[in-house]
Structure 1
Amino acid sequence: MKPNYVFILVCCVLSISQATVAAPAASNGFRVRAVNLGGWLVTEGWMKPSLFDAIPNRDLLDGTTVQFKSITLGKYLSAEHGGGTILIANKILARSSETFKLWRINETTFNLKVYNNQFIGLDTTDGVNLVAVKNTPCILETFMILRNSDDPNRVRIKASNGFFLQVKTEELVTADSKGNERWDDDDPSIFIMTALSPYQGEYQITNGYGPVMAPKVMREHWETYIVEEDFKFISSNGLNAVRIPIGWWIAYDPNPPKPFVGGSLKALDNAFKWATKYGLKVLLELHAAPGSQNGFALSGSRDGTLGWGLDSIEPTVAVIEFLAARYAKNPSLYSIGLMNEPSLWVSPETVMSYYGAGYDAVRRHSSTAYVVMATRMWAHNVTEFLPFAAQFERVVLDVHLYNFNHMTVEDVMNGDVYTHCQEVVSAVTTSDGPLSFVGEWTAEWMVPNATKEEYQRFAKAQLEVFDRATFGWAYWTFKHVGIHWSLEWMINNGYINLTASDPISVSSI
């Protein structure tokens, strides 16, 4: 749970059952001290925005929400009732019915998805009027957005009949304008476009660059973002494992479904090779499940739709089966995470049904690999899967703990870390249940103008609490443009020292 969404999350849990007696670590006494290799095999644009720089019209990627204001009426294009009928232009303020999601076909051509998940298109009865009635876009639901070279927010929208949309009245929007070379304020075919909520995930970058450029861009990224030297650095700085987020399309490498591109499997094979060389364990983690388990771009979603459910269980298990079969005999494989951050809107029964099937898939190939089951994002009760997980052997319950709900150092320390997060870790750590794991945490916070010493105190406090998790913890993440999110930067600059008995050495303060 990261980017803007992370500020909504307050230690993942709103209510927690009473703390229980702490269980021992794994049977061999080993506790994971890991770092996530986030943004590598599953793209998260907020971690490395420069990856998207060369995409034409990069502000108009899949899932971006847009609004169109008529230049002549000063009112917004709107899907009446949110969809299912005609398009109008009678609203002064833009809300849900006046906001559309883009499905990108190429840099200038798009489908426009309305609030009710239908698509704007030409009315089949006359081929001129605009409606939003189709659940699946075809030719009639395809539009070109042409931008003014001097003002790219001033646009015309060209329909598949070759004509431009124009607003004739508040109740009449048609595709029958021929347009002209001028962009005057009295032209009803001109709109002011506002692009909101940009999406920057794997779907957006691969579809944005297209089938020719995307393979080149992604393979260069996979070959340079994480390299062998990073594994050596990780191993020599007090860490014993890497948690590697992956996407479902990796199971179909080298020819995954479009727009995804092949090559990430080779990178993962290299990761296992380097982990073995430097004595690191590998924690595989399905970050992006088929259909998207939480609707965020980081889960491979095209437009924010949460498409994972009962029908997704079988194809998701197939991905887990692929991973288990491929790496079960590798000495570095330590665990397989069945799914990252399933949404609260997915029922616990559906998640448990999948977790049971995913566990069986791993066990068909390995009796020793741990199986990690994540809590639902924003679940009120973080212990909801404890009784279920307790039925299985070598199972881990994963919670993600970010601390962003206070603005002062002491409030974060006392209210978040030493109270709330400690309660969460205690709640999921039982004497007879699954092992507990803090799969994501960071030493970034919302405290303004925090000093280096305060960051050190914050990191140390979290380490004290998360070291009590019986499976261990994993920092988010190894590399990041946001320096405090990057464990590599934090170690190199003396904010965290995991090789010392005290994680913050006095000499570095």
Structure 2
Amino acid sequence: MDTQTLLPTMKPNYVFIILVVCCILSLVSQANVAAPAGSNGFRVRAVNLGGWLVTEGWIKPSLFDAIPNKDLLDGTMVQFKSVTVGRYLSTESSSGTILVANETVSSKLTVFRLWRINETTFNLRASNNQFVGLDMTNGGAGVNLVVVESTPGISETFLILRNFDDPNRVRIKASNGFFLQVRTRELVTADSKENEGWGDDDPSIFIMTIFGGFQGEFQITNGYGPLMAPKVMKEHWETFIVEEDFKWISNNGLNAVRIPVGWWIARDPNPPKPFVGGSLKALDNAFLWAKEYGLKVIIDLHSAPRCQNGLAVGATRDGSLEWGIDSVDQTVDVIDFLTARYAENPSLYAVQLMNEPVLWNSLETLMWYYQRGYEAVRKHSSTAYVVMSVRMGVQNVTELLPFAAGYERSVIDVHLYNLAYWTVQETIDFLNTYSKDMLSAVTTSNGPLSFVGEWVTEWLVPNATKEEYQRFAKAQLEVFDRATFGWAYWTLKNVINHWSLEWMINNGYINLTTTSITPSPIISTSPSSI
């Protein structure tokens, strides 16, 4: 099943990975004490404004409807099977530097990730992160195919021509004006002239299989292109979240919003292509509305430069995770920009330095960035809390506690989803054991505050009743209200009802106006692994 099929069922697949990790973690016996909440007893009850300033297609799929060839966006994985030899195009298994057609079964060698130039023209990135291109060595025009370039150019650009009657039946045109053809299993060349037919006897015909892919900020802006993307995004930013939403939030038992933003917002109004300007104006409006309705704002850097998690939420182009030590300076600049802009606004409550880094991010690099990000916030604000995210999927969720304890008004964020094919009671029991223990492990009396930055009243219990959802929501609130900084529901609006707090409250599944914050959360006296 591809990711676009999975998304309507659950938040992207890494949530389920976290669930599996949690299931195998051993419980730790600890001494517990009551401790106060954050400053003046205030504790955040927030909702995420997901899918607004950082696009996530599963939240509002209709945003992508008008993109030509919308099934061929950046990062989409494709395979090409020759109709004449019945084998897949692939990188040669021994060297990986030439293109052949000798694979009988699907493998990583047969998968290519698209970099979209326009609706019909693409670069093809192989599993070794090199790009398919024409062999232009020795000054020739190039007819042989190689996989050697790490940065694509004209020679690495291909047009995918689809059959009108069968869009998965394609020809691939190279930059020399000729089409790829399979001469033998070991020889693929770009020297075929276009034929009128699409029969199985034509060596330039391939069956294209599409799977995987992303629907993030890069895909939507690059998909619509420089003329349409600014119009589409402006309309989305002006209509998806409006002032009336902030009034509704304030009237329904919430006191804050967590607003995901992308790194390109710091370059507004002229961010690097394909991103488009305008999201900063929308964030400015959010701060005005928050002030009007007495709400606090948590700015969340959801997408860091070069992507910290390889996911659509990180605005990846093709799933590559490239954030690292050479990205730190640019990321700190984003935090500096955002804090400087809103430091004097009374609604600014916290700055989250990064959303959902993953295990592949070096802990040492991450802590170095958190240190510098913290300093950037403090340069402009002595009162804003600084939120540091735990790496997703890490077994020791307390790995940041000794580090964060050295910083005043610091917060540790853990995301606690409970998505599994269990019964109602099994899911609630899991919540009351593993999820509760994870939160307890990062909630200490002498360290940073704890924050459940994302959770949702959704599960994979089949045919659950409204009353069962209400029971699940009540159980979650009882656990997450113990977080000393607070929590934020994911998300305010979503086409999938239970992921939309607006829908859940309006339809009586959750009522926050009749529940109160737990006054004395149970916390650990010292950090320990879980």
Q: Same fold (TM over 0.5)?
A: yes
Structure-2 separation of matches of 1:502 and 1:212? 49
Aligned counterparts of 1:342 and 1:83: Cα–Cα separation in 2: 33
> Is the Cα–Cα contact under 8 Å of residues 218 and 315 in structure 2 kept in the other structure?
yes
**Hey, what's the Cα distance between the residues in 2 that align with 1:176 and 1:53?**
36
Query: How many Å apart are 1:12 and its aligned residue?
Result: 6.8
Aligned partners of 2:283, 2:34: CA distance in 1, in Å? 34
Measured in 2, the distance between the counterparts of 1:3 and 1:57 equals: 23
Structure 1 match to 2:456 = 442
TM-score (norm 1): 0.97
8 Å contact kept, 1:340–1:374: yes
Of 220, 232, 253, which residue of structure 2 is paired with 1:205? 220
Q: Mapping of 1:15-54 within 5 angstroms? A: 15=25, 18-19=29-30, 20-54=32-66
Counterpart-to-counterpart distance in 2, 1:17 and 1:274: 44
Q: 2 CA distance for matches of 1:470 and 1:500?
A: 20
Q: CA deviation at 1:22?
A: 4.7
Amino acid at match of 1:8: I
CA distance in 1, matches of 2:360, 2:119: 33
Q: 1:287 to 1:46 in 2, by over 3 A?
A: same
Q: What is the rounded CA distance, in whole Å, between the counterparts of 2:162 and 2:19 in structure 1?
A: 41
> Is contact 1:83–1:115 with CA below 8 Å preserved after alignment?
no
Do 2:143 and 2:191's aligned partners in 1 also have CA atoms closer than 8 Å? yes
Q: Given the superposition, is the C-alpha separation of residues 259 and 375 from structure 1 closer, same or farther in structure 2, using an over 3 Å criterion?
A: same
C-alpha offsets along residues 342-388 of structure 1, whole Å, 9 cap, x if unaligned? Answer: 11011111110000000000000000000000000101100000000
Q: CA RMSD in A?
A: 1.4
2:376 corresponding residue in structure 1 = 361
Q: Percent identity?
A: 72
Q: Which amino acid aligns with 1:490?
A: M
1:446 corresponds to which letter in structure 2?
L
Match of 1:100 in 2: 112
Q: Deviations over 1:112-150 (max 9, x none)?
A: 000000000001135001110111101110000000000
Cα distance, 1:296 vs. partner? 0.5
Per-residue deviation, 1:191: 0.3
CA distance in 2 between counterparts of 1:473 and 1:102 reads 38
State the shift of 1:23 in Å: 3.1
Instruction: Determine the structure 2 residue equivalent to 1:507.
Output: none
SS, match of residue 39 in structure 2: coil
Q: Counterpart in 1 of 2:159?
A: 144
8 Å CA contact 1:83, 1:118 repeated in 2 = no
1:177-188 alignment to 2 at 5 Å?
A: 177-188=192-203
What is the Cα deviation at residue 501 of structure 1? 3.2
Task: Indicate yes or no: 2:434 matched with 1:420.
Answer: yes
Say which SS state the counterpart of residue 18 (structure 2) adopts.
coil
The CA deviation at 1:26 is 0.7
Q: Which residue of structure 1 lines up, in the alignment, with residue 210 of structure 2?
A: 195
**CA separation in 1, counterparts of 2:483 and 2:149?**
50
Residue of structure 1 aligned with 2:18, choices 9, 31, 55? 9
Alignment of 1:231-246 (within 5 A): 231-246=246-261
Q: Structure 1: state its 5+ residue gaps.
A: 504-509
Q: Does residue 453 in structure 1 map to residue 467 in structure 2? A: yes
Whether 1:169 aligns to 2:184 is yes
Is 2:73–2:114's contact at 8 Å kept on the other side of the alignment? yes
Decide which of 124, 128, 135 is 2:136's aligned counterpart.
124
Q: In the alignment, what sits opposite 2:3?
A: none
- Structure 2 distance, partners of 1:219, 1:501, is 37
Of residues 252, 262, 266, the one that matches 1:247 is 262
- With normalisation by structure 2, the TM-score equals 0.93
**Deviations, residues 258-305 of structure 1 (Å, cap 9, x unaligned):** 000000000000000000000000000000000000010110110000
Alignment of 1:37-76 (within 5 A): 37-76=49-88
**1:256 lines up with 2:271 in the alignment:** yes
Question: Which residue of 486, 496, 503 maps to 1:482?
Answer: 496
Taking a change above 3 Å as real, the CA distance of residues 270 and 502 of structure 1, as seen in their structure-2 partners, is: closer
8 Å Cα contact 2:180-2:191 kept in structure 1: yes
* Rounded Cα–Cα distance in structure 2 between residues aligned with 1:287 and 1:240: 21
Partner of 1:468: 482
Deviation at 1:184, TM superposition (A): 1.0
Amino acid at match of 1:33: R
- Structure 2: which amino acid aligns with 1:7? F
Deviations 1:226-259 (A, max 9, x none): 0000000000000000000000000000000000
Contact 2:335 2:377 (8 Å CA) reproduced: yes
Q: Is the 8 A contact 1:82 1:114 kept in 2?
A: no
Change (3 A) 1:41 1:115: same
Q: Is 1:334–1:370's contact at 8 Å kept on the other side of the alignment?
A: yes
The aligned residue for residue 354 of structure 2 is: 339
Letter in 1 for 2:78: V
The question of whether the paired residues in 2 share the 8 Å contact of 1:103 and 1:112 is answered with yes
User: Which aligned pairs between 1:315-326 and structure 2 lie closer than 5 A?
Assistant: 315-326=330-341
Distance 1:357 1:299 in 2: 20
Question: Residue in 1 aligned with 2:443?
Answer: 429
How far apart, in 2, do the equivalents of 1:452 and 1:64 lie?
A: 37
Instruction: Measure, in 1, the Cα distance between the counterparts of 2:220 and 2:80.
Output: 24
Q: Return the letter of the residue paired with 2:454.
A: E
Q: CA deviation at 1:83?
A: 6.5
| Contact map agreement 1:67 1:98 (CA 8 A) in 2 | yes
Paired residue secondary structure (1:8): helix
Alignment length (residue pairs)? 502
Amino acid at match of 1:57: N
CA–CA separation in structure 1 for the residues paired with 2:94 and 2:320:
16
Further displaced range: 125-134 or 30-39:
125-134
Displacement after TM superposition at 1:466 (Å): 0.2
Measure, in 2, the Cα distance between the counterparts of 1:151 and 1:500: 56
Other-structure match for 2:290: 275
Instruction: Give the counterpart letter for 1:390 in structure 2.
Output: A
Rounded Cα–Cα distance in structure 2 between residues aligned with 1:82 and 1:143: 25
Q: Which amino acid aligns with 1:288?
A: S
Equivalent AA in structure 2 for residue 39 of structure 1: G
2:173/2:180 contact within 8 Å kept: yes
